[in-house]
Amino acid sequence: MGVLAIQGDFERHLEAVRSCGAEGREVRTPQELDRVDRLIIPGGESSTVGMLMMRFGMMEAVRARAGQGMPIWGTCMGMILLAESIEGSDQPRLGLMEITVRRNAFGAQVHSFESAVEVSILSEPLNAVFIRAPIVVQWGPSVEVICRWQDHVVGVRSGSVLGTSFHPELTDDRRMHEWFLAWDPSSSG
Ligand code: GLN
């Protein structure tokens, strides 16, 4: 399992992956991407990471692996980078999900908050941590909404790609990481 380690809170994701008993590897280059079977794109600053991914040849490399069905999970910034469209911005992105995201959707005052959410792929609610979080404001027919907070869409999946506005790596609850490690997008679940 790889974690994109260009900038942001990749260390916490690596710890979470390792605490699930899986091997966690830092991924910065196309060569490192070749060595992993799934990828987490963590929280961070989407405009910076998008620019650096272009510079390192990572946009094309991740798109190619996504095209082969590799599972990819973007949390917060990661979900922004997976989006086809980012409201009011032409910053670089992977464009792997038929979604439009709004960055920092809860405004400057609400920097971060924690709230219980229902995630359709888990049987019990999850305590979700939101930090300058994006929301999904539009989505296409290929996209399944898996989580809402109040009226806002904060979790989506499509094909082998998963996006969440919140940060499961920042709590001790490992259910999202366990789910992602076991996910086989080629079967219906
Ligand atoms: N607001 C950040 C961005 O737009 C994302 C915040 C995060 O990943 N915690 O890139």
How far away, in angstroms, is 10 Cα from ligand 1 center? 13
Phi and psi dihedrals of 26, rounded to 5?
-75, 135
76 has catalytic annotation:
yes
* Residue 87 CB–ligand 1 contact under 6 Å: no
Span 24-45, average pLDDT: 98
How sure is the predictor about 189, in pLDDT bands with cuts at 50, 70 and 90?
A: low
CATH code for the domain defined by 2-182 = 3.40.50.880
11 has catalytic annotation:
no
Whose structure tokens read 């229902």? 118
Q: Is the separation of the CB atoms in 72 and 39 below 8 Å? A: yes
Mutate which of 45, 73, 94 for ligand 1? The one with the most ligand atoms within 8 Å of its CB, which is: 45
Domain ranges for the chain: 2-182
Whose structure tokens read 């929301």? 135
20 has catalytic annotation:
no
Give the tokens for residue 149.
């907070």
In tens, the pLDDT along 116-154 reads: 999 999 999 999 999 999 999 999 999 999 999 999 999
In tens, the pLDDT along 70-113 reads: 999 999 999 999 999 999 999 999 999 999 999 999 986 677 99
Give the tokens for residue 178.
């366990």
* Residue 28 CB–ligand 1 contact under 6 Å: no
pTM: 0.96
**Cα–Cα distance, 34 to 72 (Å, whole number):** 14
Q: Exactly one of 13, 147, 169, 177 is catalytic; which is it?
A: 169
Closest by alpha carbon to 6, among 34, 33, 36, 38?
33
**Cα–Cα distance, 82 to 68 (Å, whole number):** 16
Span 3-21, average pLDDT: 97
